[in-house]
Structure 1
Amino acid sequence: MDNSSISSLLGAAAARAVPVVRAVREEQLGDPTPCAGYDVRELLDHLLDVVVNFTRLARKQPSSFGEEPDRLSTGDWRELFAEETGRLVAAWGEPGAEEGTTGGMHQPARFVGTLVLLDMTVHAWDVARATGQDFTPDPAGVEVLSGVIGDMAPAARDAGMFDEPKQVAPDASGFDTLLAATGRDPGWRPA
């Protein structure tokens, strides 16, 4: 795996995700996304929940996945996303964040950091694609994720988090190959 810090990788991913979230228009919140079962609103709420919980995990605190908060119903959710991703990046940059195991997941902390990097990268693409925006992921993040996706995909499929992998051309980009491994169609467009 690449030796870049999780914090620096998340910082680069956040720098790409925050503008995508800020550009989502209210009338697009009910639109479908490439992430099966989620419309734009549900996906943004999920992504915010992931960011908040993985900030806790970086600090070796318990997470509260499954509470299904509605973070988009009050206040400026675009600014909230920017603030929470800033907290996430800072938390993963704190001394010891990448060491030991973390939270109730009982997984190596650096691996847990790659999980949130995956969500930030792939869901930013989901939102961008659903709302007609361009998205270019951070190449270093894609490289790190490409190195671990083969190990994490079978368990993610078993848990219902990934669909069956899609086929891509042999000359597909690393990012398209990563998307396909999560069960996404890299060519997905809104109907």
Structure 2
Amino acid sequence: MKLSVLLDRARDHALPVIENIADDDLTRPTPCSDYDVRALLDHLLHVVVEFQKLAAKQDADFSHTPSYPDWRAQYPGETAKLVEAWAQPGADEGIAGSMKMPATVVGGLVLLDLTVHAWDLAQATGQSFEPDPEVFTEVSNLVTQMGPMAIEMNVFKEPVEAPQDASAFEELLAATGRDPRRSA
């Protein structure tokens, strides 16, 4: 399935979580220990904006995460631009900008962030989240493929043990270092 279609499906699952975040939720901790809800919203929106550039084979800048005061209004439009950027002919071919990685892998990374961080935000704010099944399959393949390198690059934490009765998505979350049964 085309990456842009998967990104659109991931977007459809992430936006309701983001739309239901209240101002009172912004200081809550998230499963990403480096971020509270507000900081994770900024991080994810920054990823969405910068990965639009990478789809166009331009350089992205992850050296500083800006604050997005109007994040509620920006998420729908910026995620739509992300989907459109990765739908352009050639976006998923060759090397993606400053990341110097195959565009298919880079596109998978933003799909991963959009999926796992939507779960992080849902968990932090008492919401439920399940990814689109086809998005899950793609993200799962990427997590398996990247495993040790992602830990080394500090993209994932060390894996945690998933409960014996864990769903496939909970196992994926555990592989990224998250407690899949964490509650808000």
Q: For the superposition of Structure 1 and Structure 2, which TM-score range results when normalised by the shorter chain?
A: over 0.9
Give 1:34-183 correspondences, 5 Å limit: 34-71=31-68, 73=69, 75=70, 77-183=71-177
TM-score (norm 2): 0.96
Contact 1:16 1:135 in 2 (8 A): yes
* Identical amino acids, percent of aligned pairs: 49
Aligned positions, number: 184
**Structure 2 counterpart SS, 1:155:** helix
Q: Compute the displacement of 1:172 (Å).
A: 2.3
2:128 and 2:165 mapped to 1: Cα distance?
Answer: 21
1:177 and 1:112 mapped to 2: Cα distance?
Answer: 22
1:33 corresponds, among 25, 30, 34, to 30
CA deviation map 1:133-166 (0-9, x unaligned): 1111111011112122122121111122211101
1:90 and 1:82 mapped to 2: Cα distance?
Answer: 12
Q: Compute the displacement of 1:170 (Å).
A: 4.8
Gaps of 5+ in 2: none
Contact 1:143 1:174 in 2 (8 A): no
Gaps of 5+ in 1: none
**Which aligned runs of 4 or more in structure 1 are off by greater than 4 angstroms?**
none
One-letter amino acid of the counterpart of residue 66, structure 1: S
2:171 and 2:154 mapped to 1: Cα distance?
Answer: 19
